[in-house]
Amino acid sequence: MESTTSQVTLADVSVRYGHHIALKDVSLTLGQGVTGLLGPNGAGKTTLLRTLATASTPDTGTLSMLGHDPLTPTGRQALRRRLGYLPQNPGLPSHFTAFEFIDYVGILKEISDRESRRAEARRVLEAVGLTADRSKRIRKLSGGMRQRVGLAAAIVGNPELLVLDEPTVGLDPEQRLRFRELIAELGEGRTVLLSTHQTEDVAALCHKVVVLDQGTLKFQGTPSELALLAHGRVWSSRERSPGALAAWRTGVGTFRNIGVAPADAVTVEPTIEDGYLLLLEGAHTPTGAA
Ligand SMILES: Nc1ncnc2c1ncn2[C@@H]1O[C@H](COP(=O)(O)OP(=O)(O)OP(=O)(O)O)[C@@H](O)[C@H]1O
């Protein structure tokens, strides 16, 4: 049985920006492994991640994270020592080399012994595949390499909780595969929350998935349970089905439809994306939708 001190629990958490409610009464439990956080633009994903990363404080609600209460100064401080955060735009110092920057992060994470800190910098740069490029200035690295520097910074000190905001954005397919592998590895024995717009990321590496829409929690469960929401509600046809909640042309020229299938329709196996789109009631169609 998983130790409750590895768990993260939110109860009725709400966050407002002025009159705008970015998170509304969100209750959620995260355990070890990688949980994917899906939601359309403006759903509140970054707000949720910032709250978990102790970068912002909720207006109402309670949190218990790795056995700490981040709403108290001592709980927050203890939690920060066990937490790694990769923000959406980490804003890395371009004139530092990758190694210098990670060494600096080690100082911020209170690794005071110089040799231990350098060993830790070597370890995390190796983990993200940047050993050969560690002496290059960050401004000379590609976008994918910079993402890896950000991830290396997040894992300095071997944190038990990792909060990753769209880590696979802007990566080419090969880099994305490598990143997924890395995150899956990091999820072994750790609690990882990963926000993404890619249902493929969820299928490839998440054991659980959470869906937010307009600040409200719409779903939490396994990726297969999300796909199963669309069971019997996905069908393919030669023409777009007029009654479908969402329909798009596929690569083979037929249309994939989601909604209440007509009586004569032949339904097909649903994917996570189908379940997700159905959950959002077809309000958001996938990229490339006709
Ligand atoms: N600092 C802020 N001040 C005012 N409103 C904000 C602020 N930050 C976010 N919001 C609003 O809160 C809502 C949630 O934003 P958030 O960035 O958490 O969404 P998101 O799901 O991460 O979106 P995206 O997928 O586009 O990154 C949005 O409507 C956004 O405009």
Record the tokens describing residue 27, joined without a space: 């209750």
Same domain, 212 and 232: no
Residue 194's DSSP bridge partners are 36, 164
Q: How far apart are CA 45 and CA 58, in angstroms?
A: 14
Ligand 1 atom nearest to 47, measured from its CA: 18
| Terminal Cα distance for the chain, rounded | 47
CA of 41 to the centre of ligand 1 (A): 8
Q: Is the pLDDT at 147 greater than 50, yes or no?
A: yes
Specify the residue with its C-alpha closest to ligand 1, atom 16: 44
Q: Is the pLDDT at 142 greater than 70, yes or no?
A: yes
Specify the residue with its C-alpha closest to ligand 1, atom 30: 42
* Pairing of the two strands 246-249 and 33-38: unpaired
Ligand 1 atom nearest to 44, measured from its CA: 18
Q: Is 37 in the pocket of ligand 1 (CB under 6 A)?
A: no
CA of 121 to the centre of ligand 1 (A): 33
Q: For the stretch 263-285, what's the b/e string if a residue is b when 16 or more beta carbons lie within 10 angstroms of its beta carbon?
A: eebeeeebbbbbbbbbbbeeeee
Output the pLDDT for position 80.
Answer: 93
Instruction: Work out the mean pLDDT of the chain and round it to a whole number.
Output: 91
pLDDT in tens, 42-97: 999 999 999 999 999 999 999 999 999 999 999 999 999 999 999 988 889 999 99
DSSP classification of residue 98: H
Q: Is the pLDDT at 285 greater than 90, yes or no?
A: no
pLDDT confidence band for 286 (50 / 70 / 90): very low
CA of 188 to the centre of ligand 1 (A): 30
Domain that holds residue 238: 227-279
Contact 48, 69 (CB under 8 A): no
Same domain, 258 and 118: no
Question: Count of CB atoms within 10 A of residue 239's CB?
Answer: 9
- CATH assignment at residue 10: 3.40.50.300
Output the pLDDT for position 152.
Answer: 94
Same domain, 198 and 133: yes
Contact 137, 99 (CB under 8 A): no
Q: Is 42 in the pocket of ligand 1 (CB under 6 A)?
A: yes
What is the model's pTM? Answer: 0.90
Which of the listed ranges 157-166, 240-249, 250-259 does the model predict with the highest average pLDDT?
A: 157-166
DSSP classification of residue 6: G
Output the pLDDT for position 282.
Answer: 54
Alpha-carbon separation of residue 39 from 136, 198, 210 (angstroms): 36, 10, 8
Output the pLDDT for position 4.
Answer: 57
Mean pLDDT of 132-157: 93
Q: Has residue 58 been placed in a domain?
A: yes
Q: Has residue 9 been placed in a domain?
A: yes
